[in-house]
Structure 1
Amino acid sequence: MRTSFWRGVLTGSIIGAAISMMASGRRGYISKDAVSSGAREAKSRAHRVLRGVSKSVNDLMK
C-alpha cells in the first residue's frame, strides 16, 4: 500500500511538472526537453530516497 502511495506522489509530480512546463509559454521543443530532464531527475531522486528508506527499514528489522 505504501509503495502505491509513493508511486502516486511521483506520478502526480511528473504530470504536474509537465502541465506547468507546457503552460509556461516557452517554445515546444524547450518545454519537451525541460520536462524530459525534470522527469529523469525526479526519477533519480525518488530512487535514491526509496533506496535510503529501504535500507533504514532493513537496518531496523535486524
Structure 2
Amino acid sequence: MVLITTVREGESIDKALKKCKKKFDKTRILKEFREKQQYIKPSEGRRNEILRAIYRERMRLKGEE
C-alpha cells in the first residue's frame, strides 16, 4: 500500500509529516498488523468485545454521576 501526501509550497516539513502520520493512522495498517501477529480464537475475540463494552458502559455511567 502506498500513501501519497501532497505538500504545498512553503509548508513546513513538520506539518507535512503530521499529515502523513494522520493518514497512516486512518488506514489502520498498523492495527491490522498487530492483530495478525497473534491468533485469537473467535470465542475469545467475542469475549474481549463484551468485556470492553461492559467497561465502557461502567465508565459512561460513572461519568454521569
Tell me if TM exceeds 0.5.
no
Normalised by the length of structure 1, the TM-score is: 0.41
Larger Rg: 2
Normalised by the length of structure 2, the TM-score is 0.40
Higher helix share: 1
Higher relative contact order (CA 8 A, sep 6+): 1
